[in-house]
Amino acid sequence: MSIANPYLMFLGDAPDQLAAKTADGVAKWRPDWCLGQLRLEGCQADIGLPDMSLEEAAEAGVKTLIVGVANQGGFLPDNWVSSLDKALDLGMDIASGLHMRLTELPGIAEKAERLGRSLYDARHPTRDFATGKGRPRTGKRLLTVGTDVSVGKMFTSLSIEKEMKARGMKVDFRATGQTGIFIAGDGVSVDAVVADFISGASEWLSPDNGDDHWDIVEGQGSLFHAAYAGVTLGLLHGSQPDAIVLCHEPTRPHMRGTPDIPMPDLQAVIDANIAAGRLTNPNIRCIGVSVNTSALSDEAANKLLQEIESRLGLPSVDAFRHGAARLVDALG
């Protein structure tokens, strides 16, 4: 089951722009799929799409309402639920990135069932997976890996996909988190599967494919993150990447969420991923580095990228700021 587009982006009464970060990412990377935004009274977010009512969206051909906004306190306010209910009546499916499952909202679940609409909870696996088999698959794969969580692995993956598409290459972006899933229209939140199935779910995500086809797999976590390294390792094994790109954010004082643990050395992260990745793909290699330099000036960003490039001997770019051309060149 994949999410049907085009989308209407539901922003609810988001208290600030950050609360609509997911919707913003989807609108940025899939502008053609996002026909409008629905903002309720008091909404403080704006992702730059035309404001639309549910009726206008239905008229415009929207197939899915995307709840791409964080709610407060983990419960859904009545005015959100009534919007979801009406969207079903108007013929839309609903996809949500909330922790709370749509399928746990009795009125919504019942109505969707009755009307034959789909509910898609992007944070929660909607399939069963087999355990990993470790068997080589056909086709080529690139996985973004990171020094830490939230360092730009999804953005780098999407920049690489965009560059490959522009070159006419055969490529699919494979999503492993909620925003990515709305962008790809499908995928699996690997951090939400039962631990035994991390690598099996990752194998499912990038199946056998043509010899000239690339899957660009969105990385998660970091082998050096004390909370999430298990997810990262299972994703690495299951993805069996031919190529990895190291993603990094240069202004972190320590690993995010674990103040006792310092940021790792970049070369150490590459080495650890290569060593572990060899288990399922002996030819794995690191082809470049993508640094999120959004906190730096142009000058400081360029200086840092040059320093990293000369130290590691790998093309080092900010894939979002400068595009991913040099990374795709390095695959050649």
Sequence-distant (≥ 6) Cβ neighbours of residue 219 within 8 angstroms: 143, 144, 145, 146, 153, 157, 176, 232, 235, 247
State in angstroms the smallest separation of the CB of 258 from a copy of itself. Answer: 4
* Nearest C-alpha neighbor of 295 from the set 258, 264, 252: 252
Q: Identify which range of 15-23, 85-93, 128-136, 311-319 contacts a copy of itself by CB under 8 A.
A: 128-136
* SS3 label, residue 290: strand
- What is the distance between the alpha carbons of residues 44 and 15, in angstroms, rounded to a whole number? 5
Single out the residue of 135, 168, 313, 332 in contact with a copy of itself (rule: CB under 8 A): 135
Nearest Cα residue to 271 out of 320, 223, 229: 223
Rounded Cα gap, residues 296 and 124, in angstroms: 35
- The single-letter DSSP state of residue 278 is T
Q: Which of 109, 230, 302, 323 binds a copy of itself (CB under 8 A)?
A: 230
- Residue 280 binds a copy of itself (CB under 8 A): yes
Which stretch, 15-23, 65-73, 94-102, 255-263, contacts a copy of itself (CB under 8 A)? 255-263
- Determine, following the binding rule CB under 8 A, whether residue 276 of this chain makes contact with a copy of itself: yes
Q: Is 196 in the site for a copy of itself (CB under 8 A)?
A: yes
Choose between 229 and 312: whose C-beta lies nearer to a copy of itself.
229
User: Does 195 help bind a copy of itself (rule: CB under 8 A)?
Assistant: yes
Site residues for a copy of itself, 63-102, by CB under 8 A, read none
Q: Which stretch binds a copy of itself (CB under 8 A): 48-56, 62-70, 192-200, 241-249?
A: 192-200
């199946």: which residue's tokens? 207
Choosing from 36, 68, 146, 200, the residue that interacts with a copy of itself (CB under 8 A) is 200
Residue 94 contacts residue 119 (beta carbons within 8 Å): yes
Q: How far is the CB of 138 from a copy of itself (least distance, A)?
A: 14
- Give the tokens for residue 122: 């992007």
Sheet holding 34-39, edge to edge: 34-39, 7-12, 64-67, 93-96, 119-121
Indicate whether 191 belongs to the interface with a copy of itself (CB under 8 A). yes
Q: Is 234 near a copy of itself (CB under 8 A)?
A: yes
CB of 309 to a copy of itself, least distance (A): 26
Q: Which of 10, 155, 182, 228 binds a copy of itself (CB under 8 A)?
A: 228
User: Is the CB of 59 or the CB of 128 nearer to a copy of itself?
Assistant: 128
Identify whether the C-beta of residue 121 lies closer than 8 Å to the C-beta of residue 187: no
Can you tell me the distance from the alpha carbon of 53 to that of 42, in angstroms, rounded to the nearest whole number? 15
**Residue partners of 130: CB distance under 8 A and separation at least 6:** 197, 200, 203, 204
- The residue ranges that bind a copy of itself (CB under 8 A) are 131-136, 190-196, 198-200, 223-224, 226-235, 237-238, 255, 257-258, 260-261, 272, 275-276, 279-280
